[in-house]
Structure 1
């Protein structure tokens, strides 16, 4: 087995991954589209994700309710006629026509508070839309990272399998020459199954990660040539937990939505009290009976003895108080989310740094020494196979540590509603 096998992960850690995996398992043609970055994936999702597009239409529908909230009461027009077939003169009951125009006048500034409630509801819905957008961005980033890590694992599995097959060819020649026993060669050959399994698993993981990411980007058809490009080793977050908490308080859409929920509830309290006021209806009337004309008016004022909207007034007050507790709970949750995400990042970062700065190099040295000793008769086959298994395990654990650190960074970005990556 060549020495370059376990340097692949370290090289991938320093360079951007070259596109190497496609769903068709073929090399992309020269006309294949370029691999996209994480930011490009996020931008595509914002434009094409069907769930976000649906929420945008819902936001527009809520905003349209502002128009309805601002309309005024329509006037009423009435026209009646009687005895229209009788002559105007000489009849005891001559023809008569009556024309009425009436309109209800709202009191208590009902229209103002309806508009205030509708506008606050629109602002709250807009904040909720941005929360959904933030959740979608988190899912895209997680799926993108899974695809990048899966591609790195696929590359390592391919190279490991190729190198071990070369090692097995050498073992076969040694067996034919009588340098190793049949049992040792067969045990070496059995190890090939594990490398083939690793490759098969890596292919499946890469395909599934690609499909998941494409679904989030809103692609209606699977693209076999779809590819991404990104770093395997995560960057260092330069912010402190305290600064991230302050950023979250300023940017979190759910906290903003909770604050606007208080505004909606307060407007509904004022509207409930306004709806308890009496709205008079003024009517003007013109009458013509035979050759006589007359005009009149009427004023109708409901006497609100029993129904003064008492129940809705009380309900709105309790809802307003509940919304304030909701805002407080959301604020507390912001701190909890940031602190938990920060804790996850710190622990994941420590582990990935250990692999990147120590364990990978050590595993490579151990395998190189074991390989050299085995090839020169200084190490038993069982010990060499143990070194192989340990090297594969360390490499897989390193990729998992990188993945966990990336996921913690994405969770930090979500918890703060900001870009924490430098």
Structure 2
């Protein structure tokens, strides 16, 4: 009995440990998010995008409504002669009528509703495109702020090392106390810069979490690097061609143009009014008096009723005019958007090329030389060959340029994001 209990206890303990291990693994996955995970969560949980997706049901309902026939009408008519002194005379009529759309109006109305639904779907895809650009930009802003915090930590570490050197040299009597105080000021200044960088990081992360639609208590850690090798394949003409083929806003305008054509077709069909056909069942009871005797006679009749409005004053000229004006307006906007997209792609392409050139200057000419200068200056001060002011100035220059390098990395990535959004194409093989 005791062995069984011990075995059950051991099994339960192993189960708890296994579950805890799984939970910790799941939390590790959820608490660290790469760019691809951030985009996936944003596409799924962004509040505005979810609301727009729900509105797609309105367009689906419009398609359903457009395919329905009008409801039939039931008529009931009753008459009596009691008020006119002929109490034995009465009538009762029961009718059923149905409005029948002519010249294929139902199909044309259904076509308009389907085009409206397609238009909204393209608009929804365009919203996803713009949200993806916004999320990527916010991701790189948050990553830049995180890198600036790390750079501030490095600045603090170097200033502390420099402070240790000044303390040693002050104890040896090589420098005045003023030099050590200057380093203390620089250390406090770098710590203040770190606080500002941390505040900016929290603000940028909060903006990213809002776009992702996360709960207020969620604070995941983002992972990634700004220094990603990027290679854009294709010339400017190729990218503009991709944009013209892939941009959802252009596809939406094309769908709107088709809807305008369908609107004109429906408006022209509306010139002819609908036919209403009905079936009437009537019962008439009459009375007559012959030789002092009153008799009743009941007659049943079945009739067909057809009615159609006469298009004398209104032949839907206003409807045709309105639909034509909408279509012409859409064509003008479509032509203007084509030119705007080409300019947008050209600007994004030039901005990306400029950002790559600036980053190349940092990598090849500036950063390596600054790192070498900083090492030489620090070593020269350690040997007493230069003053503290030269070291402080060199460190300031190094960290200012390093921050500029981080900004250049961020600008290159954001420029690529804008180019991808402008062309509606993944140019680097997807997010990492």
> Does the TM-score normalized on the shorter chain lie above 0.5?
yes
- Verify: 1:236 aligned to 2:262, yes or no: no
Asked whether the equivalents of residues 211 and 222 of structure 1 are also in contact (C-alpha less than 8 Å), the reply is no
Larger Rg: 2
Look up the match of 2:41.
44
Quote the Cα distance in structure 1 between the aligned partners of 2:369 and 2:25: 39
Q: Which moved more, 1:51-60 or 1:173-182?
A: 173-182
Structure 1: 4+ residue segments shifted above 3 A? 29-32, 90-93
Q: Secondary structure at the match of 2:331?
A: helix
Deviation (angstroms), 1:84: 9.0
Q: Which moved more, 1:353-362 or 1:409-418?
A: 353-362
Aligned match for 2:133, one of 127, 133, 138: 138
Quote the Cα distance in structure 1 between the aligned partners of 2:241 and 2:135: 25
Look up the match of 1:389.
396
1:343-422 residue pairs with structure 2 within 5 A? 343-422=350-429
Quote the Cα distance in structure 2 between the aligned partners of 1:410 and 1:285: 70
Deviation (angstroms), 1:72: 0.9
Deviation (angstroms), 1:30: 8.4
Structure with greater strand share of residues: 2
Asked whether the equivalents of residues 117 and 264 of structure 1 are also in contact (C-alpha less than 8 Å), the reply is yes
Look up the match of 1:297.
304
Quote the Cα distance in structure 1 between the aligned partners of 2:193 and 2:271: 72
Which deviations, in whole Å up to 9, do the C-alpha atoms of 1:235-268 show, x marking residues without a partner? 2223122222222122110000010010011111
- Verify: 1:120 aligned to 2:115, yes or no: yes
Q: Secondary structure at the match of 1:33?
A: helix
Aligned pairs, how many?
390
Q: Which moved more, 1:321-330 or 1:182-191?
A: 182-191
Aligned match for 2:347, one of 305, 321, 340: 340
Quote the Cα distance in structure 1 between the aligned partners of 2:100 and 2:48: 43
Aligned match for 1:158, one of 153, 156, 175: 153
Query: Unpaired segments of 5 or more residues in structure 1?
Result: 1-28
Quote the Cα distance in structure 2 between the aligned partners of 1:109 and 1:31: 58
Which deviations, in whole Å up to 9, do the C-alpha atoms of 1:278-316 show, x marking residues without a partner? 222222211111221122233222122111111121121
Look up the match of 1:107.
102
Look up the match of 1:4.
none
Aligned match for 1:69, one of 66, 69, 73: 66
Asked whether the equivalents of residues 80 and 87 of structure 2 are also in contact (C-alpha less than 8 Å), the reply is no
Look up the match of 2:7.
none
- Verify: 1:79 aligned to 2:86, yes or no: no
Asked whether the equivalents of residues 75 and 101 of structure 1 are also in contact (C-alpha less than 8 Å), the reply is yes
Normalised by the size of structure 2, how large is the TM-score? 0.86
Q: Secondary structure at the match of 1:216?
A: helix
**Superposition CA RMSD, Å:** 2.0
Which deviations, in whole Å up to 9, do the C-alpha atoms of 1:338-359 show, x marking residues without a partner? 1111011000011112212231
Deviation (angstroms), 1:31: 8.0
Quote the Cα distance in structure 2 between the aligned partners of 1:116 and 1:163: 70
Quote the Cα distance in structure 2 between the aligned partners of 1:81 and 1:305: 33
Q: Which moved more, 1:93-102 or 1:320-329?
A: 93-102
Deviation (angstroms), 1:387: 0.8
Quote the Cα distance in structure 1 between the aligned partners of 2:177 and 2:353: 50
Deviation (angstroms), 1:53: 0.8
Q: Name the CA shift for 1:313/1:132 in 2 (closer, same or farther; >3 Å).
A: same
Deviation (angstroms), 1:174: 1.9
Quote the Cα distance in structure 2 between the aligned partners of 1:78 and 1:99: 6
